Structure 1
Amino acid sequence: MRSLQLLGVLSLLLVAQESLAFKAHDFKTCSQSGFCRRGRALSARAKEAKSSWKSPYSVDPGSITVASDRATFTAGVKSSLYPDIKFGLELRVHDDGVVRVRMDEVGGIRKRYDEAAGWALIAEPTVSKDIKWTSGKKNIRAVYGEKKENEIVVVFEPLKISLLRNGKEQVVLNGQGLLHMEHFRTKTPEVTHTEEPAAQEGEEVIANSETQVVIKAENPRAWFEGDTEDDWWEETFSSWTDSKPKGPESLSLDISFPNHGTIYGIPQHATRLALPTTTGESPVFSDPYRLYNADVFEYLASSPVSIYGSIPVLHAHSVDSTVGIFDAVASETWIDVGRASEKSTETHWISESGILDLFLMPGPTPEDIFRQYSKLTGTPVLPAHWSLGYHQCRWNYVSSDDVRTVQKRFDQDDIPVDVFWLDIEYSEDHKYMIWDEKTFPDPVEMVNDVAALGRKMVVIVDPHLKRTSNYPVYQEASERGLLVKTKSANDEYEGWCWSGSSSWIDFFNPAAWEWWKGVFKTQKSAKGWSWTQSTEAVHIWNDMNEPSVFNGPEITMPKDNIHHGGWEHRDVHNINGMLFSNLTHQAVAARSDTPKRPFVLTRAFYAGSQRFGAMWTGDNLGTWEHMAVNVKMVLSINIAGMSYAGSDVGGFFGNPEPDMLVRWYQVGAFAPFFRAHAHIDTKRREPFLYDQPYKGMMRDMLRLRYSMLPVWYTAFRETTVTGVPVLRPHYVMFPKDPRGFDIDDQYYVGASGLLVKPITAKDVTETTVYLAEDQVYYDYFNHFAYRGATKGKDITVPAALHQIPLFIRGGSIVPTRERPRRSSTSMKNDPFTLRVALGKAGYARGDLYLDDGETYSHQKGQFVWREFIAEKPMKKGKTIRISSKDLGSAKPNEAVDGVTLKTFNPANEFAKSIGDVRVEKIIVLGITTKPTAVRIEGGEDLIWDYTPGVACSDKKEGIASVLTIKDPKVLITKDWAITIQW
């Protein structure tokens, strides 16, 4: 029996290993997907017909009803193709100017899936109280906005919806006439003839071995739908057949941006930030972008192929404005991108199922788009402070002693680390949360040994549950009826993954929610099994939650599986992974009486996943190409709402050379989520294993990351309030500079003023950095001052292996903690250094946010939020005044994530707990004359050094002057001012 079990496991691993490389035949192209093929064919017929093409959909003017709220109107929509089929259209304008467009089949023989928005939105949006619809013979319209700059127009025949700003079209729906909602219908019974019928004039006979059907040669609907039932009722891919019991139900819609030539978003794809074309004369990709969460091993470094997550949000940008759309659909979706001109973009969205539920975000700035989108789906969660440190992982640390040894080696080499991770081999036969007693005989003691040094552990919990009677998690889920069902809706679905024969929890079932929270309790519960061999220092990694099924179609779950409510998996596929991480996030937070911020990493995600933790770019390769594209992917994920993102440092697959690994650490140190990870077949590559100089270079990058934790934490505070991402591409920072629209290899970190360009190519010793403004930029390390220009300027900077191009934008103040420590928890009482980078006008500003980094007490006002300003006072004399003041009292409503504070007490308990923390050094860059006095305002003179600049002036580049104020002893929680005179 034991040998048979071993044989089964080995067979499974062989299957899995065989898939550990991207194989195009494992995944569909558009031509192999029936509904995508139909959608593209519709587009081709429209282009061929050109000006004679007309959408069959129109609004019935007599059916228009304006709701009592005045912001909403509904109307009936009919199709000339099917006069008996009815559709309903609804438009509503939200109080922030966002327009929601919904269209659904009315009175059909089945109900279309309409719950995707319910999972993504944080609340039902509030409609505007200042809207008035005006209906005419040909259209209905509404003008709104503070200056009446926005207008939404619905043309009746053919149906077209346009969002305008100052009279210019920003977003147009169905302008190309590609709207098509395939209505539900009854399958035509097959007709078997005893003898071959004679074809009449105008008819042809289509015959096969089982049936003979007479079809009109002139199908009146063929001009729009095509002349064949193309995979309407059944679809085969490779060895799998999708039963498609509901028949065709896809939704096709063209969305145009007539005055926007650059678009971003719709992650996750391995490609440039500014999306390349898929249609037109010279498309970059031949297939559309696909949104279908999939376990794609070793994904290509340039491809429109779907990967692990799907966020159907898109930004369209121009010098004049930014607009956005959010398409609340959860089914497989393909998106074609084309350029009508240099200043106009056309997209075609083709989804397998669901209703039309589209949000038009008017902008007009990138910041407005982030605010509007986050008001819909939520802002990123404020992470635990420790989770912004360095995470060390591999598949697998093989024993509890292995974990202890790795921790010891980090400390021996003075390399900081905050988290150690365990992959799937910690568990007995891949029964997650059940420790393998042979290799991990003392899991609680091991975790406590790690926690004793202020560190945490992250343990993987995948969604597939091993189907065995000795696994209580599976047994309880099965007994409670919480598992996904097969297409019969009666039987548990069985698939294969790391655990062998597996089933999956259906988190669309509310009954699963409280039960799952109980599973993570560290104390015994009378309500079911709980993870008592765990502690609050253990956090969770949700992998394989696309879901990944080794023996399933496209390595995932069959689309005709059934979820709670009777919905097919095809309807909810892209939401599945978000619900798993959502409930895990809640479960980890609920372990203790005093809730603490959980860390949950997810591979699969959807719109709204930013509320539940971090993501990473999946199973990348240890190559220069993947290093480069991962930077672009993380930027794309950031602008789509998920700031807490990163990629596997070193690459999951392969054995990078030491120089490549150094560059990977530079990339990781400037990503919001910083984790090294590696495949089980790779060589061990912890930083302490390398010889000098590589070990020293990696240690330096890790120490740099830790010194900048105040910057990262402060940036995360801002994104939890505004939705503006932590990583900011050039078009976000400088939306009116067209030279920066395509830049995706350098970016800014929050509002800190830090500009970074990671090096992602071999043997680079210098590189080009683009400065978009007439401002000074200081090299972070050697203080060289580079001068920008009004129309932008390229500068050449050194970038040897030990160097990462990093600059402080003039006008910024950067707070850091410079003392090397073993982990972030050891830094809580360390003093601060302030880098004051004076801008052209002699001014600089920065802020610093602090709280306990672990609990939710910040939502009750337990935090410190300070503003630092350097300015020239309005009086005679040459003086610069550097000051610190409380921001929490001035802006209580902007202080913390998701909570409105009416008042704020700067002398709160947390502030008192760090009351002795001081500023130990202030470095001022750009004072061109040696000071005569530096003193605390109203107090004593300070000790300082001044190094004059070299060949540097207000107009010339060179090494900037540096004033170093030594230990001014000003406290971080108090108001103070320092004056510099010369």
Structure 2
Amino acid sequence: MRVLGSFLLLAAVPVTLAVKSHDFKTCSQAGFCRRGRALSARAAQHESWRSPYTVDADSLTISTDQASFIAGVKSSLYPNIKFGLEVRVHEDGVVRVKMDEVDGLRKRYDEAASWALIADPKISNNIKWKVGKKDARAVYGAKKDVEVVVSFEPLKVTTFRNGKEQVVLNGRGLLHLEHFRTKEPAVAEIPESEVPEEGLDVEDAQKVLKAAKPTAWFEGEEEDAYWEETFSSWTDSKPKGPESLSLDITFPNHGHVYGIPQHASSLDLRTTTGESPYYTEPYRLYNADTFEYLADSTMSLYGSIPVMHAHSTDSTVAIFNAVGSETWIDIAHPSASSTETHWISESGILDVFIMPGPTPKDIFAQYSGLTGTQALPADWALGYHQCRWNYVSSDDVRSVQQKFDEADMPVDVFWLDIEYAEEHKYFIWDKKTFPDPVEMTNDVAAASRKMVVIIDPHFKRTSSYPVYQEAVDRGLLVRQKDGTSEYEGWCWSGSSAWVDFFNPAAWDWWKTLFKTYSLGDDKFSWTQSTDDVYIWNDMNEPSIFNGPEISMPRDNVHHGGWEHRDLHNINGMLFSNLTSQAITVRSDPPKRPFVLTRSFYAGSQRFGAMWTGDNLGTWEHMAVGIKMVLANSIGGFAFTGSDVGGFFGNPDPEMLVRWYHVGAFSPFFRAHAHIDTKRREPYLLAEPHKTMVKNILRRRYSMLPIWYTAFREASTTGLPVARPHYVAFPKDEAGFSLDDQYFIGSSGLLVKPVTEKGATKASVYLPPNEIFYDYDSYSLYRTAAQGKSVEVAAELSQLPLFIQGGSILSTRERPRRSASVMRRDPFTLQVALDKSSSARGELYLDDGVTFNHEQGQIVWREFRSEKSGKGIKLSSRDLTTQNLNSAVDSVALTTYDAANAYAQSLASVRVERVVVLGLGAKPTKITTSTGKELQWEYVPGISSSEKKEGTASLLVIKDPAVSIASDWEIVVQA
């Protein structure tokens, strides 16, 4: 446990503590946020408010390639302070706006983008700037419908589409880079010689000086927390003085905004300012260990991705604000069709990427072009993960595995929390409870399963711990504010130190620690591990029990001399990114890593998975977990989920069953529990709940091909796996605020988890002009020009789940103990016909473990249904060949052979059943393209013309025996 204040660690006697709001700052307790909000208030009070920043037209230059606008910027507040502005247009239409202080007393932190971006974006060579007296502008895009305008006086950057404003920077005049300055003497230190008027005492003199201060109208009359700040018992020295960044970003024609994870709140972001705000606090981005967090709050949580989508029926746009320091974001809706936001960051440069869209799909392509796509996980990682704090011994792990098998419940991964490690010295097993870690892991692996073990970033400060001692000897630890002394904080290990992963010298060293063989020369490596052990990175915000806001002091020093305040939100990302690389290179040939991280930043999706942290076993937390998964998906992090059952508490069987439904339809599916909770492995449930959960687990496994195919799409296009309604139906305004139902990839699966106690029915919204089929009952629902809500049965054993007409799903229906043993199982194709008797679906397969897919060792098929007379024709064809040269959805292969070795290995894997929903007439004959006649059964549908609903017709084609990896046709004559 942790007892804040006394810094006592008694891990053997844990205590559950509820979140204490006073442990974390509000905006009014953060000096720079106070200053930023006060600036906004002053602007609102004056109709003639005008930004002091102007473009120096005499300094303006256009780069030789015409892609960059470069100019100096002046401030009427401080004529002697110089700023530089650069506006670039990328090949994909993204506009990058950078502004930094030039020749200042110090350097502002400008490295945030370098950690997030996958590469320097390619600049467009089709841009031609037109410079006038009042502005500079460039028109571009395939239809020449996008325009970026840089207004000179005052400085403002606006993007347009078809002459309509999309995004405006500094339209409200709240831009302010607090320049570096020297500390002015306090009142008592003013020499009498500087008293401006004879007869005034020193205090009166100071008032006169402040009254004459030319910046009072903009910066305020007081120096509010410029040089030092106190919160609770901690004092933050600010040796660089004020350096915050304020920026207003307006979306004039977009009434909905999404993103900026991570918060426990609705997907459609609420107002935080104005006459009647939903929240009174801005959304905060400051990675923090906010355990037992509130279920409806703008409080910061474990990760930060400063990306925001703005959406309307006309278009979707987005911005990525590349800043690594603490950031607060106010949101207002001056009208139903526009949104104003105000971003206030503690430090950093202005570095904003404007993504023009105009569709959600375009936005995800543009954002992933900057920060990368979700890594394609190993196939087993999409199975069910069983965890608790803590499985107490190696025999306990073996027993849990045995009981899963006895209950005939599938599971892929068993997890170990911090108690496996001797005195919480990570990598070092506690020999009393885990005397045979390699043998234990091998026993788990023998059943085609994996282990995940926690590695936290705090290292016990003792010379007997080789990992810590090596870090000391190499000079790799984070330093105190003096820049030389090792920083000491308290965490699970007691007195602890933290590796500075901003130091490149730490990178290769960290990778060596995960080698499962001896390195010799007394160097440490994890010889008591195997390639079947994967990693969980927790506490990497960083969480420090005796630190301010349970984290690291902001004036600590990292590599390069940067203060922790500058890069706090990036810090945790480096830990998990390097761990992922370490897991990858420990094997020869490399295998896909699995690393779960609690803390994250933009770009973290390239390296693993995340979860929503220490939630509570309540209905409210179950519900908000869905919204958080969707928000993280918007931020590019598709491999995400919440702890099933809640980390804290003892959910009753009803809640647990409902939560398993939620987990089974989340990209990352893990049950986890606090050390104080009762054991709640699913096999411990009494009937009928035990069978309910077994069926839920089996459904997850039957749908693994759907999930894996969705992850392929995420890994190549950036589109999320869990897809909100506005992404799937961007023109359907009635669904723009929906965040309790969502789609799974492009599969056509629509899920509405039930998160209310005692519910027996649920209301599901269906978009316009569509057909939907109930996944289990085959009930049919049609919508017209307007979408509609339908009430469906939702008893405890039921999950509202629908197939959109026009979809083809690939499933594997044979129950297995784990994902790995399913790789050669046959398939069932479920064909849900649309109004024109058409349907389409995809299936992606590879070996699920290695990186051979990058060399074309894959199977990627398209299935189609097309109307043929009164019947239909079903077909399968290779998709990789079609998309090899596609800029829209390419697998990025230089060479490809449809008869690759992996595809040949699946030649005998067949389609064992085809289910067709919505066929208009009873078949007369069904044959393959080779002339083979197939067996089938047909049940006609039952319609209700009044409601345009009923039960769909059902055709089951028995064992067509066509290869999943080959071209084929099945003709249904009717």
Give the TM bin, normalised by the shorter chain.
over 0.9
Counterpart contact for 1:330–1:574, Cα < 8 Å: yes
Q: Which among 141, 147, 169 is matched to residue 145 of structure 1?
A: 141
Counterpart contact for 1:717–1:897, Cα < 8 Å: no
Cα deviation for residue 17 of structure 1 reads 5.8
Any residues of structure 2 matched to 1:841-856 within 5 Å, and which? 841-856=836-851
Structure 2 CA distance, aligned partners of 1:427 and 1:441? 11
Identify if the C-alpha distance between structure 1 residues 204 and 906 changes in structure 2 by more than 3 Å, giving closer, same or farther: farther
Match of 1:234 in 2: 228
Structure 2 CA distance, aligned partners of 1:324 and 1:762? 37
Match of 1:792 in 2: 787
Structure 2 CA distance, aligned partners of 1:909 and 1:593? 20
Structure 2 CA distance, aligned partners of 1:457 and 1:773? 45
Structure 1 CA distance, aligned partners of 2:593 and 2:33? 39
Q: Which among 12, 28, 46 is matched to residue 9 of structure 2?
A: 12
Identify if the C-alpha distance between structure 1 residues 896 and 15 changes in structure 2 by more than 3 Å, giving closer, same or farther: farther
Counterpart contact for 2:390–2:416, Cα < 8 Å: yes
Cα deviation for residue 157 of structure 1 reads 0.6
Counterpart contact for 1:845–1:868, Cα < 8 Å: yes
Matching of residue 180 in structure 1 with residue 172 in structure 2: no
- State the TM-score, normalizing by the size of structure 2: 0.97
Q: Which among 539, 546, 555 is matched to residue 544 of structure 1?
A: 539
Cα deviation for residue 949 of structure 1 reads 1.3
Letter in structure 2 aligned against 1:12? L
Structure 1 CA distance, aligned partners of 2:484 and 2:155? 42
Counterpart contact for 1:886–1:975, Cα < 8 Å: yes
Structure 1 CA distance, aligned partners of 2:890 and 2:938? 45
410-419 or 944-953, larger mean C-alpha shift: 944-953
Question: Any stretches of 5+ residues in structure 1 without a counterpart?
Answer: 1-5
Match of 2:503 in 1: 509
Structure 2 CA distance, aligned partners of 1:518 and 1:893? 39
Q: Which among 934, 940, 943 is matched to residue 948 of structure 1?
A: 940
Structure 2 CA distance, aligned partners of 1:92 and 1:272? 34
Match of 1:247 in 2: 241
Identify if the C-alpha distance between structure 1 residues 918 and 894 changes in structure 2 by more than 3 Å, giving closer, same or farther: farther
Counterpart contact for 1:203–1:214, Cα < 8 Å: no
Counterpart contact for 1:483–1:503, Cα < 8 Å: yes
Cα deviation for residue 199 of structure 1 reads 8.1
Structure 1 CA distance, aligned partners of 2:960 and 2:887? 28
Match of 1:52 in 2: 48
1:868-913 CA-partner distances (Å, limit 9, x unpaired): 101113xxx4221111111122212569999621332111111122
Secondary structure of the structure 2 residue equivalent to 1:334 = strand
Matching of residue 919 in structure 1 with residue 911 in structure 2: yes
Q: Which among 642, 646, 666 is matched to residue 641 of structure 2?
A: 646
Structure 1 CA distance, aligned partners of 2:795 and 2:160? 49
Match of 1:469 in 2: 463
Cα deviation for residue 384 of structure 1 reads 0.3
Letter in structure 2 aligned against 1:263? V
Q: Which among 764, 769, 774 is matched to residue 764 of structure 2?
A: 769
Matching of residue 62 in structure 1 with residue 55 in structure 2: no
Matching of residue 459 in structure 1 with residue 453 in structure 2: yes
Letter in structure 2 aligned against 1:592? S
Identify if the C-alpha distance between structure 1 residues 403 and 204 changes in structure 2 by more than 3 Å, giving closer, same or farther: farther
Counterpart contact for 1:204–1:216, Cα < 8 Å: no
329-338 or 938-947, larger mean C-alpha shift: 938-947
Match of 1:812 in 2: 807
Cα deviation for residue 974 of structure 1 reads 1.1
Question: Any stretches of 5+ residues in structure 2 without a counterpart?
Answer: none
Letter in structure 1 aligned against 2:542? P
Match of 2:416 in 1: 422
Structure 1 CA distance, aligned partners of 2:174 and 2:660? 47
Match of 1:317 in 2: 311
Structure 1 CA distance, aligned partners of 2:202 and 2:691? 74
Cα deviation for residue 175 of structure 1 reads 0.6
Structure 2 CA distance, aligned partners of 1:16 and 1:116? 40
1:94-133 CA-partner distances (Å, limit 9, x unpaired): 0110000000000001000000000000000000011111
Q: Which among 105, 114, 131 is matched to residue 118 of structure 1?
A: 114
Any residues of structure 2 matched to 1:651-730 within 5 Å, and which? 651-730=646-725
Identify if the C-alpha distance between structure 1 residues 826 and 569 changes in structure 2 by more than 3 Å, giving closer, same or farther: same
Match of 1:443 in 2: 437
643-652 or 134-143, larger mean C-alpha shift: 134-143
Structure 1 CA distance, aligned partners of 2:542 and 2:8? 21
Secondary structure of the structure 1 residue equivalent to 2:617 = coil
453-462 or 922-931, larger mean C-alpha shift: 922-931
Counterpart contact for 1:707–1:817, Cα < 8 Å: yes
929-938 or 723-732, larger mean C-alpha shift: 929-938
Structure 2 CA distance, aligned partners of 1:85 and 1:775? 59
Secondary structure of the structure 2 residue equivalent to 1:951 = strand
Secondary structure of the structure 1 residue equivalent to 2:942 = coil
Secondary structure of the structure 2 residue equivalent to 1:872 = strand
- State the TM-score, normalizing by the size of structure 1: 0.97
Identify if the C-alpha distance between structure 1 residues 417 and 426 changes in structure 2 by more than 3 Å, giving closer, same or farther: same
Match of 2:576 in 1: 581
Counterpart contact for 1:433–1:531, Cα < 8 Å: yes
Percent identity over the alignment is 68
Secondary structure of the structure 2 residue equivalent to 1:630 = helix
Counterpart contact for 1:205–1:214, Cα < 8 Å: no
Matching of residue 605 in structure 1 with residue 597 in structure 2: no
Match of 1:130 in 2: 126
Identify if the C-alpha distance between structure 1 residues 663 and 588 changes in structure 2 by more than 3 Å, giving closer, same or farther: same
Identify if the C-alpha distance between structure 1 residues 198 and 233 changes in structure 2 by more than 3 Å, giving closer, same or farther: closer
Letter in structure 1 aligned against 2:714? T
Cα deviation for residue 959 of structure 1 reads 1.3
Match of 1:3 in 2: none
Match of 1:935 in 2: 927
Counterpart contact for 1:522–1:532, Cα < 8 Å: yes
Identify if the C-alpha distance between structure 1 residues 642 and 157 changes in structure 2 by more than 3 Å, giving closer, same or farther: same
Cα deviation for residue 206 of structure 1 reads 7.3
Structure 1 CA distance, aligned partners of 2:619 and 2:776? 25
Structure 1 CA distance, aligned partners of 2:105 and 2:13? 42
Q: Which among 344, 347, 355 is matched to residue 353 of structure 1?
A: 347
Match of 1:81 in 2: 77
1:910-936 CA-partner distances (Å, limit 9, x unpaired): 112222100000001111321111111
Letter in structure 2 aligned against 1:974? S
Structure 1 CA distance, aligned partners of 2:256 and 2:619? 26
Counterpart contact for 1:721–1:894, Cα < 8 Å: no
Cα deviation for residue 956 of structure 1 reads 2.7
1:548-573 CA-partner distances (Å, limit 9, x unpaired): 00000000000000000000000010
Letter in structure 2 aligned against 1:249? E
Identify if the C-alpha distance between structure 1 residues 897 and 716 changes in structure 2 by more than 3 Å, giving closer, same or farther: farther
Match of 2:520 in 1: 526
Secondary structure of the structure 2 residue equivalent to 1:306 = coil
Cα deviation for residue 217 of structure 1 reads 2.7
1:709-749 CA-partner distances (Å, limit 9, x unpaired): 00000000011111111111110111111101011000000
Structure 2 CA distance, aligned partners of 1:715 and 1:883? 21
Letter in structure 1 aligned against 2:912? E
Cα deviation for residue 219 of structure 1 reads 2.6
Counterpart contact for 1:595–1:856, Cα < 8 Å: yes
Q: Which among 58, 79, 101 is matched to residue 97 of structure 2?
A: 101
Structure 1 CA distance, aligned partners of 2:101 and 2:57? 18
Secondary structure of the structure 1 residue equivalent to 2:496 = strand
Match of 1:755 in 2: 750
Letter in structure 2 aligned against 1:408? Q
Cα deviation for residue 391 of structure 1 reads 0.1
Identify if the C-alpha distance between structure 1 residues 815 and 384 changes in structure 2 by more than 3 Å, giving closer, same or farther: same
Any residues of structure 2 matched to 1:182-581 within 5 Å, and which? 182-190=178-186, 192=188, 215-526=209-520, 528-581=523-576
RMSD between superposed Cα atoms in Å: 2.1
Structure 2 CA distance, aligned partners of 1:813 and 1:898? 21
Structure 2 CA distance, aligned partners of 1:930 and 1:129? 58
Match of 1:974 in 2: 966
1:755-802 CA-partner distances (Å, limit 9, x unpaired): 000001101111111111222111101111111222111111100100
Secondary structure of the structure 1 residue equivalent to 2:824 = coil
Counterpart contact for 2:14–2:675, Cα < 8 Å: no
Letter in structure 1 aligned against 2:22? H
Match of 2:162 in 1: 166
Match of 2:18 in 1: 21
